[in-house]
């Protein structure tokens, strides 16, 4: 390729990719711009990008005060963290057992894990609902967390990682006097940090963004997670007030987007894990 | 420090027997090497001694105390692994101190932060600190203490693994091929270092390797294993000069021992390729035997005075010596002969040459591979049929 | 040695725990079961049990709150066959999959190749295209609703500048499903792009050098020889993953259209949701779930085959 044509190619590449990027970013930009505008500017039939009067403080205060948005965010944090911790507590010992201990039934267990990987959570929503109803957990944090406390994907992922840990390390730990539980938490888990971080991102993003299950089990806004809270905000009689609504949407997506921009590689690894599932 | 006794030990995985009737006494302070080809069961034996696997039958006692029911950590042994098995998330210092903390501290004393507030914490910490410093000084790893294993070279990791094993003064050290991940030069260097360490510490060492050179250079005694059986336990000298089995003779020594198919003729006189040698077996019942002779016990000679004749097929120049490969008609493999530099320079490829076998050092094995007695026929008695 | 052992030789004092130690193997057997017990019980309770329960439920007439139930065989499935809503929903789901999958895979592949073809801005483009994957889809759906507002939305305002009167995107029976498809593609492209990128980067550069030595001198020849054998299997893989995801479309439908107008955007999961949790026709919803499950499992099994056949450059 000579110089000139490579220049043209470079320009065309950027042109195409830039216009694609613009489409990708457009909703985010419009969301931000709308969240800065006063109602009369939002509901004007004239195309204007930048607001004439910056209405930032008003919209964002409105978003936080009109609905218990902060409560929703707190619920989101509580639920995602609780789910993640439960998943780790359950999956890591099992993954260790399946990767490194020799016992009868181990192969069967792993086969069960592989089969359960095939089950999409939507498909078991009805029995889950009945279980939550039986346990009296409907409309509580328990209902949001309990069904996700088992992550077969987590077991699978951690097992694959533990398989690569040399047996000698476990033997050394046994000789050094670690108990078997201490081996799981103090030797295996620290060596599996990269896998754990990826899985953590995968799990937290999935449950922060989850809408289907909270929608089914929750009634009272006290336990609403951010997505549910946003929808209830919109469904309010004041929901047509787009400025505060967009401000609320901005607040809900900001934590993950900022975290993503700070640790892109890790996030991409974590999220694309679901593709390997 | 203690002696270790292994009695009638058997180990099977399902139907496959991995260890068969192992009996072995290891003296206090001894450096014993378990050597054998891979898959011979030597690592399994070591792991059973450590308590990481359990025997199917038999007993193990350490210092006169039976340990079959003891967990690995209660046997007070330390192990160095082939892959070093350092905790990758801990610094060198933490790696070394871990066995001390796990053993000498109660669980509540090990808690992060809170542990430091427990009575006596400062004293314990200082004690551990002193030990770590002693060990790291001995191994010259003081400057590495704050690094993580990932930042260390193979040799450095090896030292840290040794340090972790040494720090709590175990009854015995178990070493599972600790040098096999190092490059050749470093391996030779570490051999000496480990041997010196053994002298300094005076503790029992059980050392597993597949490398006969390591076994020969480092050990007080060698236990040679094959196919789950203990073939011979003896000093390096003894095992080299007096192997009890053809497999032992073959495994030990480099270049390999020459094994020549032979027939015991009248009066037990040994014939190779129909040529009578100055060697005989006193056992009149033996017919077909294997004659083993090490390359340094064979010499090149003029054809007239030789035992066997052949063609010089290949000459290896080792610098300080030459190894001549002689193709003898009727033998499948060439006979290896070690010769000195002056002689080596005179040799020409493809020349016809004679071989003399030193009868004093020739070894005879029966058709089961067991060693049988041999004796030298005197020069003058060459044509008589009697042992000298 | 003595300097290292001030506290003399310690005796092997068996502790209580070690007294029940019956050899390493027995110990491992017990431990294996103990450590995997929580996972196994939860797996039974929340996955194996429920999936069987859904199957069983679909053959009964049970509804939430009823004390007893009867086995009705295939009645629920027969009802489904005569139910217009179900057929609508199945057809819409298929259309959605048929649009979103090729759209997002083709765009993702194209963008990935363009990004890899140059030097500048790789990380920037990757981040930007991936942003929609990260952002809470519910929040972004509400943003899309604002953008698609017939009078004050960005899109119609822009069309107005061009002198076109934009339609009421989410209320138009002909358009609504394709609008949802568009949002689906917008959300999925980045995900596929990243999978393709990691596939392209997994090709070791010495393979390109080897190809050049072997006489593949043009960029196209090298692409055919080295890149394509890797991309082919990845593309299949991405196709199946995207299909599985597309089958599970729910959030945008629930938030933006509620399946309307007039069932024009009704999809399988949404039908299941309304039957189960709005009309409480539990057993009928279970039958719909079984159909949904059937499609997803079919795709997952396809994927399992592709994953195994993937070309490995490692």
DSSP assignment of A186-240: IIIHHHTHHHHHHHHHHHHHHHHH--HHHHHH--SGGG--HHHHHHHHHHSTTTT
Question: What six digits make up the tokens of B42?
Answer: 């030597």
Share the mean pLDDT of chain C: 85
Which of A236-240, B254-258, B310-314 has the lowest average pLDDT?
A236-240
Taking CA atoms, what residue in A is nearest to C158? A47
C278 alpha carbon, distance to own chain's centre: 25
Under-70 pLDDT residues of chain C = 1-22, 306-314
Q: In angstroms, rounded to a whole number, what is the distance separating the alpha carbons of residues B327 and B315?
A: 12
The answer to whether residue C185 neighbours chain A at the CB level (below 8 Å) is no
Binding-face residues of A in 100-129 toward C, CB within 8 A: 101-106, 109, 112-113, 116, 118-120, 122-129
The answer to whether residue A1 neighbours chain B at the CB level (below 8 Å) is no
Q: Summarize pLDDT for B3-43 with one digit per residue, the tens.
A: 899 999 999 988 889 999 999 999 999 999 999 998 899 99
**Cβ–Cβ < 8 Å for A226, C136:** yes
Question: Who among B1, B75, B166 is closest to C12 (CB)?
Answer: B75
Q: In angstroms, rounded to a whole number, what is the distance separating the alpha carbons of residues A257 and C141?
A: 16
Cβ neighbour number for residue C78 with a 10 Å cutoff: 12
Position C224 scores a pLDDT of 79
The answer to whether residue A48 neighbours chain B at the CB level (below 8 Å) is no
On the question of pLDDT at B378 being above 90, the answer is: no
Q: In angstroms, rounded to a whole number, what is the distance separating the alpha carbons of residues C40 and A90?
A: 9
Cβ contact, residue pair A171, B78, below 8 Å: no
> Per-residue confidence at A239, pLDDT binned at 50, 70, 90?
low
Query: How distant, in Å, are the alpha carbons of A55, A143, B110, B295 from that of B328?
Result: 102, 85, 70, 15
Which of A123-132, B112-121, B272-281 has the lowest average pLDDT?
B112-121
Task: Report the gap between the CA of C128 and the closest CA in chain A (Å).
Answer: 6
Which of A84-98, B119-133, B255-269, B307-321 has the lowest average pLDDT?
B119-133
The arrangement of strands across the sheet holding B275-280 comes to B371-372, B363-365, B288-293, B258-264, B269-272, B275-280, B375-376
pTM equals: 0.85
Cβ contact, residue pair C1, B202, below 8 Å: yes
Q: In angstroms, rounded to a whole number, what is the distance separating the alpha carbons of residues B101 and B103?
A: 5
> Per-residue confidence at A55, pLDDT binned at 50, 70, 90?
confident
| B38: DSSP letter | T
Which parts of B140-166 fold into alpha helices (H)?
A: 154-166
Question: What six digits make up the tokens of C68?
Answer: 């007893």
- The percent of residues in chain A predicted with pLDDT above 90, rounded, is 61
Compute the half-sphere exposure of residue B97: CA atoms within 13 Å on the CB side of its CA: 20
Hey, what long-range contacts does C87-94 have (CB within 8 A, 24 or more apart)?
Answer: C88/C263, C88/C264, C88/C266, C89/C259, C89/C263, C89/C266, C89/C267, C89/C268, C89/C270, C89/C271, C90/C268, C90/C291, C92/C177, C92/C264, C92/C265, C92/C266, C92/C267, C93/C247, C93/C249, C93/C267, C93/C268
Subunits in contact with chain C (3 or more CB pairs closer than 8 Å): A, B
Given the candidates 1.20.1260.10, 1.10.3720.10, 3.10.450.50, 3.30.360.10, the CATH classification of the domain at C75-310 is 1.10.3720.10
Q: What is the 3-state secondary structure (H, E, C) of A72-107?
A: HHHHHHHHHHHHHHHHHHHHHHHHHHHHHCCCCCHH
Q: In angstroms, rounded to a whole number, what is the distance separating the alpha carbons of residues C218 and B212?
A: 54
| B254: DSSP letter | S
Cβ contact, residue pair C140, A268, below 8 Å: no
Binding-face residues of C in 25-44 toward B, CB within 8 A: 25-27
Q: In a mutagenesis test of the B interface, which of A101, A175, A188 is the best target, namely the one with the most B β-carbons within 10 Å?
A: A175
> Per-residue confidence at B73, pLDDT binned at 50, 70, 90?
confident
The answer to whether residue A177 neighbours chain B at the CB level (below 8 Å) is yes
Cβ neighbour number for residue A104 with a 10 Å cutoff: 9
Position A265 scores a pLDDT of 86
Question: What six digits make up the tokens of C50?
Answer: 């429920």
Average pLDDT over residues A85-89: 96
Q: In a mutagenesis test of the A interface, which of B76, B78, B97, B102 is the best target, namely the one with the most A β-carbons within 10 Å?
A: B102
Taking CA atoms, what residue in C is nearest to A207? C136
Cβ contact, residue pair A171, B98, below 8 Å: no
Question: Quick one: which of A63, A75, A73, A78 has its CA closest to A218?
Answer: A75
User: Domain-by-domain residue ranges, chain C?
Assistant: 16-57, 75-310
Question: Quick one: which of A81, A75, A121, A125 has its CA closest to A232?
Answer: A75
H or E element in which residue A61 lies: helix A56-66
DSSP notation for C158-180? HHHHTT-----GGG-TTTHHHHH
Instruction: Name which residue leads in pLDDT, B103 or A200.
Output: A200
Question: What six digits make up the tokens of B371?
Answer: 């060693």
Position C5 scores a pLDDT of 38
- The percent of residues in chain B predicted with pLDDT above 70, rounded, is 93
Cβ contact, residue pair A103, C32, below 8 Å: yes
Q: In angstroms, rounded to a whole number, what is the distance separating the alpha carbons of residues A202 and A112?
A: 22
Taking CA atoms, what residue in B is nearest to A168? B85
For helices A242-262 and A69-100, the axis angle rounded to 10 degrees is 30
Torsion of CA A212, A213, A216, A217, to 10 degrees: -160
Cβ contact, residue pair A101, C31, below 8 Å: yes
Question: Who among A17, A104, A209 is closest to C115 (CB)?
Answer: A17
Residues counted in chain B: 388
Position B384 scores a pLDDT of 44
Which residue is associated with the tokens 């994907």? A153
SS3 for B8?
strand
Cβ contact, residue pair A171, B50, below 8 Å: yes
**Cβ–Cβ < 8 Å for C287, C77:** yes
Q: Summarize pLDDT for A19-50 with one digit per residue, the tens.
A: 999 999 999 999 999 999 888 888 887 788 88
Which of B108-122, B266-280, B295-309, B339-353 has the lowest average pLDDT?
B108-122
Positive or negative, the CA dihedral A106, A107, A109, A113 is positive
B70: which chain C residues are within 8 Å (Cβ-Cβ)?
12, 14, 18, 21
Q: Summarize pLDDT for C38-53 with one digit per residue, the tens.
A: 999 999 999 999 999 9
The answer to whether residue C12 neighbours chain B at the CB level (below 8 Å) is yes
Q: What is the 3-state secondary structure (H, E, C) of C243-260?
A: HHHHHCCCHHHHHHHCCC
SS3 for B232?
strand
Taking CA atoms, what residue in A is nearest to B150? A191
C194: which chain A residues are within 8 Å (Cβ-Cβ)?
268, 271-272
Cβ neighbour number for residue C301 with a 10 Å cutoff: 11
Position B1 scores a pLDDT of 56
The answer to whether residue C28 neighbours chain A at the CB level (below 8 Å) is yes
Cβ contact, residue pair A176, B73, below 8 Å: yes
Question: Quick one: which of C42, B145, C33 has its CA closest to A105?
Answer: C33
Binding-face residues of A in 159-198 toward C, CB within 8 A: 180, 184
The answer to whether residue C2 neighbours chain B at the CB level (below 8 Å) is no
Cβ contact, residue pair C43, A43, below 8 Å: no
- Which residues, listed in sequence order, are joined to residue C71 by a DSSP beta bridge? C60
A98: which chain C residues are within 8 Å (Cβ-Cβ)?
36
Cβ contact, residue pair A103, C28, below 8 Å: yes
Q: Summarize pLDDT for C121-161 with one digit per residue, the tens.
A: 889 999 999 999 989 999 999 999 999 998 888 999 899 88
For B115-150, give one letter per residue: b (16+ CB within 10 A) or e. beeeeeeeebeeebeebbeebbebbebeebbeebbe
**Cβ–Cβ < 8 Å for A227, C139:** yes
On the question of pLDDT at B382 being above 80, the answer is: no
Cβ contact, residue pair B164, A176, below 8 Å: yes
Q: In angstroms, rounded to a whole number, what is the distance separating the alpha carbons of residues B188 and B182?
A: 9
Cβ contact, residue pair C9, B166, below 8 Å: no
**Cβ–Cβ < 8 Å for C176, C265:** yes
The answer to whether residue C111 neighbours chain A at the CB level (below 8 Å) is yes
**Cβ–Cβ < 8 Å for C189, C129:** yes
Which residue is associated with the tokens 């393979």? C207
Cβ contact, residue pair B52, A187, below 8 Å: no
A175 alpha carbon, distance to own chain's centre: 40
Question: Who among B52, B88, B103 is closest to A171 (CB)?
Answer: B52
Q: In angstroms, rounded to a whole number, what is the distance separating the alpha carbons of residues A277 and A117?
A: 7
Share the mean pLDDT of chain B: 88
- Which residues, listed in sequence order, are joined to residue B371 by a DSSP beta bridge? B365
The answer to whether residue B68 neighbours chain C at the CB level (below 8 Å) is yes
C29: which chain A residues are within 8 Å (Cβ-Cβ)?
101-104
A213: which chain C residues are within 8 Å (Cβ-Cβ)?
none
Position B60 scores a pLDDT of 93
Which of B120-129, B347-356, C97-106, C121-130 has the lowest average pLDDT?
B120-129
Position C138 scores a pLDDT of 94
Position C234 scores a pLDDT of 83
Cβ contact, residue pair C13, B74, below 8 Å: yes
């Amino acid at each position: 390729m000579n110089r000139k044509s490579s220049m043209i190619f470079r320009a065309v590449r950027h042109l195409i990719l830039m216009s694609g990027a613009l489409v990708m970013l457009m909703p985010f930009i419009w969301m931000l711009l709308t969240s800065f505008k006063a109602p009369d500017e939002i509901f004007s039939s004239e195309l204007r990008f930048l607001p004439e009067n910056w209405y930032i403080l008003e919209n964002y205060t409105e978003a936080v005060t009109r609905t218990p948005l902060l409560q929703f965010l707190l619920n989101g944090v509580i639920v995602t963290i609780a789910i993640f911790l439960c998943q780790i507590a359950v999956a890591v010992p099992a993954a260790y057992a399946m990767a490194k201990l020799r016992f009868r039934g181990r192969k069967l267990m792993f086969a069960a894990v592989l089969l359960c990987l095939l089950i999409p959570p939507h498909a078991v929503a009805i029995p889950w609902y009945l279980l939550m109803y039986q346990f009296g957990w409907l409309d509580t944090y328990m209902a949001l967390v309990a069904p996700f406390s088992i992550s077969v994907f987590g077991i699978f992922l951690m097992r694959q990682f533990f398989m690569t840990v040399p047996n000698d390390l476990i033997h050394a730990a046994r000789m050094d006097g670690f108990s078997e539980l201490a081996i799981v938490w103090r030797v295996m888990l620290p060596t599996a940090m990269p896998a754990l971080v990826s899985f953590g991102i995968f799990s937290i993003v999935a449950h922060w963004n989850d809408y289907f299950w909270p929608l089914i089990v929750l009634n009272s806004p006290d336990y609403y997670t951010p997505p549910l809270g946003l929808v209830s905000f919109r469904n309010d009689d004041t929901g047509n007030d787009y400025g505060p609504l967009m401000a609320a949407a901005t607040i809900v997506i900001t934590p993950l987007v900022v975290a993503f921009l700070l640790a892109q590689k890790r996030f991409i690894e974590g999220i694309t894990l679901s593709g390997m599932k | 420090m203690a002696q270790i006794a292994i009695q009638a030990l058997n180990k099977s995985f399902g139907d496959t027997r991995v260890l068969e009737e192992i009996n072995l006494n290891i003296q206090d302070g001894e450096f014993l090497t378990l050597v054998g080809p891979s898959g011979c069961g030597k690592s399994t034996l070591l792991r059973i001694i450590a308590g990481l696997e359990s025997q199917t039958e038999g007993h193990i006692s350490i210092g006169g105390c039976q340990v079959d029911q003891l967990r690995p950590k209660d046997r007070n042994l330390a192990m160095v692994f082939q892959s070093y098995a350092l905790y990758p998330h801990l610094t060198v210092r933490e790696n070394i101190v871990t066995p001390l903390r796990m053993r000498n501290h109660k669980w509540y004393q090990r808690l992060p932060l809170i542990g430091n507030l427990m009575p006596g914490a400062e004293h314990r910490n200082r004690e551990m600190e002193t030990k770590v410093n002693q060990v790291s000084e001995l191994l010259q790893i003081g400057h590495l203490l704050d690094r993580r294993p990932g930042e260390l070279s193979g040799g450095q990791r090896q030292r840290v693994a040794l340090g972790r094993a040494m720090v709590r003064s175990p009854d015995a050290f178990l070493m599972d091929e600790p040098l096999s991940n190092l490059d050749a030069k470093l391996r030779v260097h570490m051999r000496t270092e480990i041997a010196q360490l053994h002298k300094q510490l005076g503790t029992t060492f059980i050392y597993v390797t597949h490398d006969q050179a390591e076994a020969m250079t480092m050990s007080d005694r060698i236990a040679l294993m094959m196919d789950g059986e203990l073939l011979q336990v003896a000093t390096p000298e003894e095992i080299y000069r007096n192997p009890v089995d053809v497999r032992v003779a073959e495994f030990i020594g480099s270049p390999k021992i020459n094994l020549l198919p032979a027939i015991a003729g009248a009066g037990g006189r040994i014939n190779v390729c129909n040529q009578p040698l100055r060697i005989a077996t006193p056992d009149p019942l033996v017919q077909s035997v294997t004659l083993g002779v090490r390359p340094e016990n064979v010499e090149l000679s003029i054809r007239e005075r030789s035992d066997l004749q052949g063609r010089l097929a290949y000459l290896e120049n080792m610098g300080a010596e030459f190894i001549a490969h002689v193709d003898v008609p009727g033998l499948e493999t060439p006979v290896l002969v070690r010769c000195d530099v002056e002689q080596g320079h005179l040799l020409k490829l493809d020349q016809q040459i004679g071989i003399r076998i030193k009868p004093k050092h020739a070894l005879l094995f029966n058709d089961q591979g067991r060693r049988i007695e041999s004796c030298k026929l005197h020069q003058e008695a060459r044509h008589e049929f009697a042992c000298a | 040695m003595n300097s290292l052992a001030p506290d003399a030789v310690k005796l092997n004092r068996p502790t209580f725990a070690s007294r029940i130690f019956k050899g390493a193997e027995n110990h491992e057997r017990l431990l294996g079961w103990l450590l995997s017990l929580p996972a196994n019980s939860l797996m039974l309770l929340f996955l194996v049990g429920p999936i069987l329960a859904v199957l069983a439920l679909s053959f009964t007439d049970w509804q939430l709150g009823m004390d007893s139930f009867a086995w009705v065989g295939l009645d629920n499935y027969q009802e489904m066959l005569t139910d217009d809503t179900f057929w609508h929903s199945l057809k819409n789901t298929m259309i959605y999959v048929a649009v979103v999958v090729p759209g997002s895979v083709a765009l993702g592949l194209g963008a990935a190749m363009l990004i890899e073809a140059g030097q500048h801005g790789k990380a920037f483009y990757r981040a930007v295209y991936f942003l929609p994957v990260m952002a809470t889809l519910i929040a972004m759906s509400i943003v899309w609703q604002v953008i698609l507002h017939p009078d004050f939305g960005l899109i119609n305002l822009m069309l107005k500048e061009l002198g076109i009167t934009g339609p009421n995107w989410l209320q138009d029976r002909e358009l609504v499903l394709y609008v949802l498809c568009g949002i689906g593609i917008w959300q999925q492209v980045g995900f596929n792009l990243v999978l393709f990128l990691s596939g392209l980067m997994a090709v070791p550069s010495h393979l390109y050098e080897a190809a050049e030595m072997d006489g593949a001198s043009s960029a196209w020849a090298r692409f055919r020889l080295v890149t394509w054998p890797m991309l082919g299997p990845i593309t299949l893989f991405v196709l199946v993953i995207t299909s599985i995801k597309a089958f599970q479309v729910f959030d945008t439908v629930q938030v933006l259209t509620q399946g309307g107008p007039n069932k024009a955007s009704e999809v399988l999961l949404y039908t299941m949701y309304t039957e189960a949790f709005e009309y409480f026709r539990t057993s009928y919803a279970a039958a719909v779930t079984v159909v949904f499950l059937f499609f997803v499992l079919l795709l997952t099994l396809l994927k399992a085959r592709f994953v195994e056949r993937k070309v490995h450059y490692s």
